[in-house]
Structure 1
Amino acid sequence: MVISGPSNRERRTVKRILMMTLLLGLMSPAACESLWPGQETPANEIKLAGHINATETDLAFQVPGRIEAISPEAGEEVKAGQVVAKLDDQVFRHEVDAAQGAWDEADATPGPKKLKDAGLRQAKAALELARLRLSYATLISPVGGLVLARSANPGELAAVGTTIITLGDLDHVWFEGYLPERDLGKVSYGQKAAITIDGTPGKEYSGAISFISPKAEFTPKTVETYRERVTMVYRVRIKVPNPQRVLKVGMPAEAVISLAKP
């Protein structure tokens, strides 16, 4: 039996494979990524996937009670200083009346001046506390914003500190994403970026980097990157003007950070 060696064609094929393997081994990871469909990123920009976020304010009562009224619905606008909810304040009014009666009695009771003054001070403090608790039965928003969520209804019991309404400032939003450690030295505060969302294909929203986390963290499981998944990342925020309120909280988005040309 005669065993022949590899043909010339087979030799050339093996040689090409070896050359390609060597070439890929010498190339940087970023350069290799550009060979694969869907992963191509120009050298003068960084692509990030993330979501839109905004400053949220949780409104809650400072005293417990049964909700008598709550006005705004989700999606409605609230102004700073607006009354958004009220508790049944009958108990608090009784407290004020009782404290006022105690102060009147202390004022009318004869006795040594020193003791009387001490009694009046104590009665006054109790009266002021009762009036303060009564004022807490009315929930007033300290800021303006859009109602993102309403988690209570009239007739329900409200506990101290339990969120009743969540407001969001949609006029000033930001993109939040995670920057691979290898790209950290390429970005800085104020650097320009373009934000895109699926809802308005082809439209870009201009922004600038407003925050770069000083602390590295492991890549969150929910993060999708355009490059090979990395181990350590830095959270970044890109501030985006949103006068038309097209960008919503939680909306998936993509950011392209422009880099200076080498």
Structure 2
Amino acid sequence: MKHKRLIAGAGLLGLVILIAGWTLYGRNGHFNTEILLLGNIDVRQVDLAFKAPGRLAAVNFEEGDAVKAGDIVASLEKPDFEDERALAAANVAAQSNLVKKLESGARPEEIEQARAAVASRQAALTLAQSTLTRMERLAETDAASHQLHEEAQAKRDEAAAALRTAEEGLTIAETGGRVEDIEAARAALSASEATHRLAERRLADADLKAPSDGIILTRVREPGAIVNAGETIYTLSLNSPIWVRTYVSEPDLGRIRPGMTAEVRTDSGGVYKGQVG
């Protein structure tokens, strides 16, 4: 019983993808005829580039080299990226400590310092009020000038404001920060953490990795070069999947469907299994 032969996609390996001029045969149990088609390998390639600008520290492969998915094919100099990560980590630590401080309140010694500040401001206010009272009595008898009276009043007001500030500081030390202050600090911490994650990714992206198995077609840049984000460093020919492109005449189109098994033959005698895709 004769079988129909039709070529479609083939699972080829290694350097076979460099061979062109394929002869394609396909099989279909529903027909007792054969179809002979000619086609070519589709060369699928991708340009490899860094996400960030920088100076090339290493270019690890030559043209024609085979690479595996995940291989580091090139690297940028990393000190700047490492400093960015260190700075971001320090900001996270500082902001985290601030959040903890606002949530838990001050340490005992800080509370004592705040209480001492309140006592000092209270004593200063008492003295300023006493001075103002004396100036008011002297002003009534014209024994003190109007200017001295105003100066005493201003000092009393300053002392009162300083006392209020000290009392607010003591309240925060004893009870922790206000709700809105805590929420603002938490939001700032989240922003710092996001910046740190970004710095981690930028450092990781300083290594350029092969996205899949393939062959280096072109090596565009050399170590020491300054490259921009998105600038091609390599062009990589992908190994898998491999496709054969062929054209079917209109009368035969209805006899072909996706998923049919196929056979690919090369001019050199190689035979490979595939399927219509």
TM-score by length of 2: 0.51
Conservation of the 8 A alpha-carbon contact between 1:63 and 1:133: yes
Match runs of 1:26-175 below 5 Å: 44-53=33-42, 55-109=44-98, 111=102, 112=177, 113-170=182-239, 173-175=242-244
Fraction of identical pairs, as percent: 32
Higher RCO (CA-CA < 8 Å; seq separation 6+): 2
Asked if the contact 1:81/1:142 (under 8 Å) is kept, the reply is yes
Letter aligned with residue 229 of structure 2:
V
Q: Is the 8 A contact 2:92 2:196 kept in 1?
A: yes
Q: Which has the higher helix share?
A: 2
Deviation string for 1:123-158 (max 9, x for gaps)? 222112112111111112242332233332222333
Summarize the Cα distance change of 1:116–1:210 in structure 2 as closer, same or farther, 3 Å threshold. same
Number of equivalenced pairs: 165
Q: Which runs of 5+ in 1 are unaligned?
A: 1-42, 212-262
1:65 maps to amino acid: G
Deviations along 1:55-84, one digit per CA (max 9) or x if unpaired, are 544432222222211101122121232211
Tell me if structure 2 keeps the 8 A contact 1:188–1:209.
Answer: no
Deviations 1:173-216 (A, max 9, x none): 3321222223212334424344333xx2xx142344422xxxxx
Give the structure-1-normalised TM-score.
Answer: 0.53
- Could you tell me which residue of structure 2 aligns to residue 205 of structure 1? 271
Alignment check: 8 A CA contact 2:212 2:238 kept = no
Distance 2:275 2:94 in 1: 64
Cα distance in 2 between the residues matched to 1:170 and 1:81? 14
RMSD over aligned Cα atoms: 2.8
